[in-house]
Amino acid sequence: MTTASLINPDLLSHGTLECNDTPATRRFLTEFLGIDVIRPLPEAQYLSKGGAWTVVCVRVEGEQKEQGPQNRFKLAVASAAEVDAAHVAATKHKDAYGIRRIEGVEERNGIRSFRLQDMNKVWWEIANLTQKHYDDAFARGDYKH
């Protein structure tokens, strides 16, 4: 798509989530999910795993918004076995990391994945995805209507 648009951004740069316990959230993100986290501001932590984009974790007072699984962040792991291992780890350490819900592992079109809801009521999906999955989807173009 190269037609004129109202703006021409340099980067699809970020998403956001809420937390109300910054240190506990960071332990979950780094120790359990393996995400890189920095805290540049008292009110926010920035999450990343390579790339120029980030997910901003904003500290809120009181209760966080309850998200549904339709609004989630996806983490790519290298293999289907790693998805299964992550599911086992989530189940084992559910209480320790404040994980609220863990759904079953599913497989669709060769992508194995599961979803969990964290202590902040935020949903995560862990899947054996690679960027090639998206490269191929964009290269194939739209499905035939």
Residues 75-104 that bind other proteins (CB under 8 A): 75-78, 82, 86, 89-90, 93, 95-98
Q: How many whole angstroms separate alpha carbon 138 and alpha carbon 142?
A: 8
Q: How many whole angstroms separate alpha carbon 67 and alpha carbon 70?
A: 8
Residue 56: DSSP 8-state: E
CB 53, CB 14: distance < 8 Å: yes
**Residue 72 touches other proteins, criterion: CB under 8 A:** yes
**Residue 138 touches other proteins, criterion: CB under 8 A:** yes
Q: Give me the least distance between CB of 97 and other proteins, in Å please.
A: 6
Q: Give me the least distance between CB of 80 and other proteins, in Å please.
A: 14
- 50-54 contacts: CB < 8 A, separation 24 or more? 52/11, 52/13, 53/11, 53/12, 53/13, 53/14, 54/13, 54/14
User: Would you state the torsion angle of the CA atoms of residues 83, 87, 92, 93, taken in this order, to the nearest 10 degrees?
Assistant: 80
Q: Which of 7, 104, 110, 132 binds other proteins (CB under 8 A)?
A: 7
118-137 binders of other proteins (CB under 8 A): 119, 125-126, 129-131, 134-135, 137
Q: How many chain residues interact with other proteins (CB under 8 A)?
A: 88
Q: Which of 62, 68, 101, 111 binds other proteins (CB under 8 A)?
A: 68
The contact mask relative to other proteins for 17-36 (x = CB under 8 A, - = no) is xx-xxxxx-xx--xxxxxxx
